[in-house]
């Protein structure tokens, strides 16, 4: 085997986190640290961050966490009972999307970004199974900034798996993962710096 082939294999071999009732793979750091630092700064200033609304036992609350939606088309997307219109891709998002597509072999047409200002902001147990998303489509999650713990819980067996998402790392959720597993970003007092998460997704084509 040529040395190049050996390296190519080493670089693309992700670690399986979940192997039953779906599949979750952790690719580790895929964007080198210096580049990840630059992307973090660019996204922090150039993305149109807005506060998210969450419906909590029927009460609408504004989250401290900020979000933004970008996509191929200005599609309307319903999320947490609110309708948003996606913005056109920025240069940084196109670059990141192309890199993630090359690594994963999947194509994406939308991206949800989350900005967690510190460890007190997180996201509660949920699965990403909104009706606008392609059923069983892959979701590629890129993390920038503060390292945070991320957890999965099986909907029936309650089995849990946790992983630390590093600066510049990629996690991919595939197949039936959203049908069988919940995931969350638990809040923590140990983290005082911000984190940006980008989840590349596939929205169903409109008919
Ligand atoms: O911040 C993360 O790592 C995950 C975000 C998430 O689960 C979501 O946006 O649906
Ligand atoms: Fe999610």
Arithmetic mean of pLDDT over the chain: 90
Confidence of residue 9 (pLDDT cuts 50, 70, 90): very low
Distance from Cα 141 to the centre of ligand 1, integer Å? 7
Cβ atoms of 167 and 144 within 8 Å: the answer is: yes
* Residue 174: pLDDT band with limits 50, 70, 90: very high
Region 27-35 average pLDDT:
97
Say if residue 207's pLDDT is above 70: no
**The pLDDT of residue 141 is above 60:** yes
Q: Which CATH number fits domain 18-201: 1.10.260.40, 2.30.30.140, 2.60.120.590, 3.10.180.10?
A: 2.60.120.590
Confidence of residue 112 (pLDDT cuts 50, 70, 90): very high
Q: What is the pLDDT of residue 74?
A: 78
Question: Residue 142: which residues within 8 A CB-CB, separation 6 or more?
Answer: 30, 31, 96, 100, 168, 169, 170, 197, 198, 199, 200
Instruction: From 154, 180, 135, select the one nearest 22 (Cα to Cα).
Output: 180
Which residue lies with its CA nearest to atom 3 of ligand 1?
A: 197
Contacts of 60 by beta carbon, 8 Å cutoff, 6+ apart: 53, 54, 81
* Ligand 1 nearest atom to the CA of residue 195, by list position: 1
Q: If you write DSSP's letter for every residue of 127-153 in order, what string do you get?
A: ----TTBPTT--EEEEEEES-EEEEEE
Q: Do 105 and 94 meet the contact criterion of CB atoms below 8 Å apart?
A: no
Distance 198 CA to ligand 2 centre (A): 10
Say what the ipTM of the complex is: 0.99
Atom of ligand 1 nearest to the CA of 116: 1
pLDDT, position 80 = 63
Domain positions in the chain: 18-201
- What pLDDT digit, counting tens, does each position of 58-87 carry? 777 777 899 999 999 877 776 666 777 899
Percent of the chain with pLDDT over 70: 89
More confident residue, 55 or 96: 96
CA 69, CA 109: separation in Å to the nearest integer?
Answer: 11
Sign of CA dihedral 116, 120, 121, 126: positive
Residues with CB under 6 A from ligand 1: 112, 114, 123, 128, 141, 150, 183, 185, 197, 199
Question: Between 178 and 59, where is the model more confident?
Answer: 178
d(CA 207, CA 202): 15
In whole angstroms, how large is the CA radius of gyration of the chain? Answer: 17
């Amino acid at each position: 085997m040529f040395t190049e082939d050996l390296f190519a294999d080493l670089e693309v071999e992700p670690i399986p986190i979940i192997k039953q009732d779906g599949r979750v793979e952790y690719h580790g750091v895929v964007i080198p640290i210096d580049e990840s630092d630059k992307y973090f700064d660019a996204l922090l200033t150039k993305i149109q961050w807005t506060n998210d609304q969450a419906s909590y036992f029927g009460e609408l609350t504004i989250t401290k966490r900020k979000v933004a939606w970008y996509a191929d088309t200005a599609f309307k997307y319903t999320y947490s009972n609110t309708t948003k219109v996606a913005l056109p891709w920025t240069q940084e998002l196109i670059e990141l999307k192309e890199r993630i597509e090359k690594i994963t072999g999947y194509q994406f047409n939308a991206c949800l970004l989350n900005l967690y200002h510190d460890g007190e902001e997180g996201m509660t147990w949920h699965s990403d199974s909104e009706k606008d998303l392609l059923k069983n489509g892959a979701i590629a999650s890129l993390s920038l900034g503060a390292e945070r713990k991320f957890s999965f819980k099986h909907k029936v067996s309650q089995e849990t798996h946790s992983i630390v998402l590093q600066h510049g790392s990629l996690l991919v959720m595939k197949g039936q993962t959203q049908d069988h597993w919940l995931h969350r970003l638990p809040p923590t007092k140990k983290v005082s710096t911000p984190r940006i998460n980008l989840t590349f997704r596939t929205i169903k084509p409109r008919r």
